Chains A and B, each alone.
Chain A
């Protein structure tokens, strides 16, 4: 076996001798939410005979942000995609590797709670949604729920109507993404943390009582079967909902958009998950999509600037990206990031605050 490895190594070395030349295609990796849009742009760039089609890898936001920071050189990716903004800690990793980045926001993605059109439509507030799916809710020691109590108990709600009699009288069953997903992280932050523990009077008070003023401990989703992890594939959730009208699901807006004839989105705190309401900011369960460009690769790997220019061509209201479910930014923001593409300002910790 030893000499086997020696042989493999020798062949690989021979391979290196011939392949360690400059890469002539862009290498991009990161968020699986950004991927469907990044691939559309990449394909458009590839149609231009002067450029190869960029290679777009999946892997999740963390792979995109970490990967782009790993170092300078053609063996590292040029651009990292992310559906959550870079954190200062992640930027420090970049700095420690001597990598300078520019942050480009490309658009928004709504997160919807939806079910089959044959089922009962859900009209619900963010706080109620938080109550339905957060792992722990505040209660009194005897289990009753009262504004003055702040003991945290495992979520007791079995039916939607237990939370509010106006909600459907069916068991709470929601399919959603697993812990590795950026969609889930954003959902938990926007609904469980900010919408419920940060706002609803009782949960807010109880959170403060356990030294968790920001409600971060509320991010955990239920694990008792009411919230069902259905894997990273949103299509799977869509299929489950079509088969089972009593279940609800959490996924990206583009999947609702593609299946608008069989699925309906829940009205959350009086706002509808429609293209227009997400775009103008009325529907608040949405997050921004980013990519991070490595300065050292601009002008070295062919096509970085052109790839960015291709985003600009398609990120508008009538562009190919909105057709696939990405929510465009307002004109002012588009102008701002268009300028950033030209000037390439270095991303600093101050900008992330």
Chain B
């Protein structure tokens, strides 16, 4: 504005200047869009690589090899005390019974031959046999056709991970064992089926027996505790702060703290859980109850912040109308504002839960990053969660765990997708716009 005369240009000149710059501007626009597309392309490429690598290993991980055997269920061998108790079956020689069937099928003889043949079958076979006998005692003293998982090394061989051409000393299974496997394959006794161990089995150090069931139940229990605590507390906090709390120094400090809490690294909550619940209250380690409480602390800020946004989005006219016809503030809140804000609150809660489902760091401190075989029956039994199970499997040396790890990741991803889809569904279908 210092030299007003310079600004005075004729429309013709202006049009000319615009015209000369136009191509450059259009180009700039095109370039900007191109950058955006490249960015999306890169992100998609990463995603595709991730999915391809997980799915290519994960889908075979849902299947494993089984062997079908004719097992003679000798009562005296299986139930030595004769009282048919769980302990008696455990003391019985289930292993011997299965091995006898295996020697029969493979034709193994001699000490080294039997040793090689014995290693073909999973250790879980004994448990499976005991379970079958317990479920139906009438099968004792008969011959039954039963299917057992093969050992993980045998499975790796049948999948071609362990190659026949490799010299014998560098292979985890020797020539004798391969001979027996060939016999079993020729007889058609080996089958490649959907892995029931993966879905219904619990943690195990035998790769062929390892499953996600225990971790899944642990995840559900932990999330249940987390939801029961964080949702009511989060919503109540949001409602009070948004509608009732006086705007003063104290509420301001509280607000800042909630926002800060949302940014606190999750492992810090684990340390808090360790110090308070295990240290001060002396609660046992590794239980989903504490896991749930710790994760609830972590998800609270997410829920509070999204709930407050949802409440704020309800137009003031609704409140004014309710108050105008004589409703009290609490009635206005409970009858009108909260129901209208509920979809937004639920969306925030589900996203918070999805976050909690994928967490391992805060659980490390409170002992839930552990090898836990028994399936938790309540929130006070030791338990672990899906991401922890994945983390533990990824570190075991046995090769079959690589497949099972990817399969478990697929299950976890499926849960996350379902939860996020539910959040989107609720937002799209139930949310009202004004």
Q: B170–A8 contact, CB under 8 A? A: no
Chain A residues with CB below 8 A from B300, complex form: 4
Name the interface residues of B277-302: CB closer than 8 Å to any CB of A: 277-278, 281-287, 289, 293, 296-297, 300
Any chain B CB within 8 A of the CB of A302?
Answer: no
Any chain B CB within 8 A of the CB of A75?
Answer: yes
Given A32-B395, A254-B397, A260-B170, A46 and B373 touching (CB < 8 A)?
yes
Name the interface residues of A262-306: CB closer than 8 Å to any CB of B: none
* The residue from B296, B369, B373 contacting A53, defined by CB atoms under 8 A apart: B373
Interface string of A40-55 (1 = CB under 8 A from B): 1011001111101101
Q: B254–A258 contact, CB under 8 A? A: no
Q: How far is the CB of A17 from chain B (nearest CB, A)?
A: 10
Interface string of B236-264 (1 = CB under 8 A from A): 01000000000000000010011001000
Q: B237–A42 contact, CB under 8 A? A: no
Interface string of A227-262 (1 = CB under 8 A from B): 000001111000000000000000000110111110
Q: A36–B293 contact, CB under 8 A? A: no
Interface residues on A, range: 35 or more
Name the interface residues of B47-69: CB closer than 8 Å to any CB of A: none
Any chain A CB within 8 A of the CB of B163?
Answer: yes
CA distance A255 to B399 in the complex (A): 10
Q: A11–B293 contact, CB under 8 A? A: yes
* The residue from B126, B281, B287, B371 contacting A56, defined by CB atoms under 8 A apart: B371
* The residue from B123, B382, B394 contacting A55, defined by CB atoms under 8 A apart: B382
Chain A residues with CB below 8 A from B374, complex form: 25, 46, 52-53
Chain A residues with CB below 8 A from B370, complex form: 29, 55-58
Q: How far is the CB of A239 from chain B (nearest CB, A)?
A: 9
Which residue of chain B lies nearest to A24 when distances are taken between CB atoms in the complex? B381
CA distance A32 to B397 in the complex (A): 12
CA distance A81 to B180 in the complex (A): 39
Given A7-B233, A12-B276, A16-B283, A43 and B372 touching (CB < 8 A)?
no
Which residue of chain A lies nearest to B85 when distances are taken between CB atoms in the complex? A49
Chain B residues with CB below 8 A from A16, complex form: 281-283
Chain A residues with CB below 8 A from B372, complex form: 53, 55-56
Which residue of chain A lies nearest to B384 when distances are taken between CB atoms in the complex? A55
Any chain A CB within 8 A of the CB of B172?
Answer: yes
Any chain A CB within 8 A of the CB of B229?
Answer: yes
Q: Which of A19, A39, A42, A55 has the most CB of B within 10 A?
A: A55
CA distance A74 to B172 in the complex (A): 41
Chain B residues with CB below 8 A from A18, complex form: 380
Q: A29–B367 contact, CB under 8 A? A: yes
Given A55-B382, A233-B394, A235-B394, A261 and B367 touching (CB < 8 A)?
no
Q: B257–A1 contact, CB under 8 A? A: yes
CA distance A52 to B381 in the complex (A): 11
Q: A258–B371 contact, CB under 8 A? A: no
Which residue of chain B lies nearest to A274 when distances are taken between CB atoms in the complex? B169
* The residue from A8, A47, A48, A75 contacting B297, defined by CB atoms under 8 A apart: A8
Any chain B CB within 8 A of the CB of A197?
Answer: no
CA distance A12 to B261 in the complex (A): 20
Any chain A CB within 8 A of the CB of B204?
Answer: yes
Chain B residues with CB below 8 A from A56, complex form: 370-372
Interface string of B161-193 (1 = CB under 8 A from A): 011001001111000000000000000000000
Q: Which of A18, A47, A320 has the most CB of B within 10 A?
A: A47
CA distance A27 to B382 in the complex (A): 10
Q: How far is the CB of B296 from chain A (nearest CB, A)?
A: 7
CA distance A298 to B247 in the complex (A): 58
Given A11-B293, A75-B278, A260-B170, A42 and B283 touching (CB < 8 A)?
no
Any chain B CB within 8 A of the CB of A329?
Answer: no
* The residue from B127, B163, B392 contacting A47, defined by CB atoms under 8 A apart: B127
CA distance A320 to B95 in the complex (A): 15
CA distance A261 to B374 in the complex (A): 34
Q: B371–A261 contact, CB under 8 A? A: no
Q: How far is the CB of B57 from chain A (nearest CB, A)?
A: 12
CA distance A2 to B300 in the complex (A): 13
CA distance A259 to B289 in the complex (A): 40
Q: How far is the CB of B150 from chain A (nearest CB, A)?
A: 15
Any chain B CB within 8 A of the CB of A98?
Answer: no
CA distance A8 to B297 in the complex (A): 9
Any chain A CB within 8 A of the CB of B194?
Answer: no
* The residue from A43, A49, A73, A254 contacting B373, defined by CB atoms under 8 A apart: A43
Q: How far is the CB of A326 from chain B (nearest CB, A)?
A: 11
Any chain B CB within 8 A of the CB of A13?
Answer: yes
CA distance A46 to B371 in the complex (A): 12
Q: A19–B367 contact, CB under 8 A? A: no
26 contacts between A and B (CB under 8 A): A1-B254, A1-B261, A8-B293, A8-B297, A16-B282, A16-B283, A18-B380, A19-B283, A25-B374, A36-B397, A39-B371, A40-B205, A46-B373, A49-B86, A50-B87, A53-B373, A55-B286, A55-B367, A56-B371, A57-B367, A58-B370, A75-B285, A233-B395, A234-B397, A259-B397, A324-B398
The chain A residues found within 8 Å of chain B, CB to CB, are 1-4, 7-8, 11-13, 15-16, 18-20, 23, 25, 27, 29, 32, 35-36, 38-40, 42-43, 46-50, 52-53, 55-59, 73-75, 77, 232-235, 254-255, 257-261, 320, 324-325
Known contacts A56-B370, A58-B371, A324-B205; 15 additional CB pairs below 8 A are A4-B237, A12-B277, A12-B281, A18-B380, A20-B283, A40-B205, A42-B371, A53-B374, A55-B367, A73-B282, A75-B278, A233-B394, A235-B402, A320-B123, A324-B398
